[in-house]
Amino acid sequence: MRALVQRVSEASVEVEGRIVGETGPGLLVLVCAMQDDDATAADKLAARVAKLRIFQDDRGKMNRSLLDVSGGALVVSQFTLAADTRTGNRPGFSAAAAPEDGRRLYETFAASLRGHGVAVETGVFGADMKLRLLNDGPVTIWLDSADRA
């Protein structure tokens, strides 16, 4: 699985003019399930996100995790993180998981993150969503479950 993690002061997601998820200080996590991903990949990625030390400590160093700062997370599915842009001008998305698998793994990821004690809100899988965020830093980190055993 892939995740693009953004440290935010606030973030919200809107579907058809209605806010369906929001968070205050914490993380906006854009998530994409890839072909051959499984629940283990979702759980490992959720643990990495919960423990990723990208919040400042008392000395101004990025040394605290989402758990340490009691921050929330807004988790939004985004299959475009699977984009293959190596050839041509139009990205390909064939590496993304099939929609039914993507939905299951997205939900597994969000549930696993909740299981770590994080307050999680979500977007609507497969919907046309509008995101608003106030990026804090800015701090944006790319994570891929395939990068770590």
C-alpha of 31 from chain center: 4
Strand runs (DSSP E) across 72-128, as ranges? 72-77, 119-122
The reply to whether 35 belongs to the active site is no
Pick the catalytic residue: 6, 23, 78, 108?
78
Domain residue extents for the chain? 2-147
The reply to whether 87 belongs to the active site is no
Distant-in-sequence, close-in-space partners of 149: CB < 8 Å, separation ≥ 6:
none
Pick the catalytic residue: 6, 23, 55, 79?
79
The CATH superfamily assigned to 2-147 is D-tyrosyl-tRNA(Tyr) deacylase (3.50.80.10)
Residue in the structure block whose two tokens are 């990205």: 91
The reply to whether 79 belongs to the active site is yes
pLDDT at 148: 58
Cβ 4 vs Cβ 30: under 8 Å: yes
pLDDT at 145: 85
pLDDT tens string, the chain, 149 residues long: the values are 999 999 999 999 999 999 999 999 999 999 999 999 999 999 999 999 999 999 999 999 999 999 999 999 999 999 999 999 999 899 999 999 999 999 999 999 999 999 999 999 999 999 999 999 999 999 999 999 887 55
pLDDT at 129: 98
Q: Produce one character per residue of 43-82: b if its CB has 16 or more CB atoms within 10 Å, e if not.
A: bbbbebbbebebbbeeeeeeebbbeeeebbbbbbbbbebb
